[in-house]
Amino acid sequence: MFANCSPRQRRADKFLHNLDHLTERVGRHVPPIADIHYLRELPEGTFGRAWADHIDRHQLTPFPEGPRRKQLHDGIHVLTGYDIDAVGEAEVQAFLLGTEFKIANVLLLLGLLYFAPKDSQIRERLWRAYQRGRHSYFNADIWQPERLWFVSLEKVRRVYRV
């Protein structure tokens, strides 16, 4: 898990590993939600297919276990269109912070900013992501993307005002 990475990346990986361990100990793990093989078979343009395409395009490994929010993380990238680099990940956390204040999102956002390039536009991008979350109808705690697999991605974005 930690081989061939920078000291910063090792610290980040260790932090996420410890977070997984903690959520498992407090009983937050749920059964698998998104079956990537099933999502790949959905029609082009659907939210579920867009999720699978996102996973494949970025050569990601889906989160097949763990807390619900972790398993749904890639779907939030699909919904918002934010990238998977440090800034994109920070934008996801700022968006989620805009939807509802959670200390976990603040901590993740601050941690991601440590890895993000020092760029004058980051503050503006994060503010836009936060405002986007504030004005959306999205709630990560009750979101059920599995009921939306067959809906077009554009319609899902309109429904949640994302």
H helices of 26-152, in order, are: 36-40, 47-57, 68-71, 73-80, 86-99, 103-115, 122-134
**pLDDT value of residue 80:** 98
Q: 81 — alpha (psi -120 to 50), left (phi > 0) or beta?
A: left
- Look at 30-34, 67-71, 112-116 and tell me which has the smallest mean pLDDT: 112-116
**pLDDT value of residue 15:** 57
Residue with more model confidence, 8 or 52:
52
Please check whether residue 136 is in contact with residue 104, taking contact to mean a CB–CB distance below 8 angstroms.
no
- Reference 37, options 58, 72, 64; nearest CA is 64
pLDDT at 155 over 90: yes
**pLDDT value of residue 26:** 59
pLDDT in tens, 128-150: 999 999 999 999 989 999 999 99
Residue with more model confidence, 69 or 49:
49
What is the token pair recorded at 45?
């343009």
* Gap between the Cα atoms of 77 and 5, Å rounded: 24
**pLDDT value of residue 153:** 98
